[in-house]
Amino acid sequence: MQSEETRNGSASAPSAALIKTIAASSLIHGLTTSCGRCTSKETGRRKTIDLTNQKFGRLLVIARAGSSLRGRALWQCRCECDGSIVIVLGKELRNGHTVSCGCWKAERMGDFARTHGMGLTREYKSWKAAKQRCTNPKDTNYPLYGGRGIQMCEEWMDSFPDFYAHIGPRPQGHSLDRIDVNGNYEPGNVRWATAKDQANNRRR
């Protein structure tokens, strides 16, 4: 007697669906984006979409710029404002979260910075400096941050108020520190720390 699959023209049973439990934080922060099966059979890795010469907002993708610590594609982009070069995660380009070198956000934030009265505060300067370390290849500290794949989460890239609401006022004698020195600037991984605390928290 023919099996149901044979009668329906299928020689073999369909593969079983994969059911996988994923932490909500991994989904929110983009740490998990698939079941893990959908990889290239030839390489065993996720296929990278070539974004070269594509334009996203004010950014023109020039070339691949390696990968982040989590293996995600980084791209070198030129902004139409003044030719500034920035390194951006491909995911951030495709989902529309990053559309400029920061000029568009600066234009949006300009009025807000003046109205919230924190444009000259230590907290605002720490936030701005961290973004530069992660995205601007001309920044002297870029090789230790953006050059290693360290990023700032999209919520904070777009909003100083969200950053400030999470971390709070900066105490005297403290500066911005990542708890996991190989992790990103993101909720749960930042604090205001003393120079001694940061010295004890260096990469090993």
In contact, 97 and 158? CB cutoff 8 Å: yes
Average pLDDT over residues 10-20: 50
Q: Which residue bears the tokens 């973004």?
A: 131
> Which tokens in the block code for residue 182?
């190989």
The helix (H) or strand (E) run that includes residue 177 is: strand 175-178
**Residues linked to residue 78 through DSSP beta bridges, in sequence order:** 60, 85
162-179 residue pLDDT tens:
898 899 999 999 999 999
7-21, 102-116, 132-146, 162-176: lowest mean pLDDT where?
7-21
pLDDT higher than 50, residue 154: yes
Cα(54)–Cα(59) distance, integer angstroms = 8
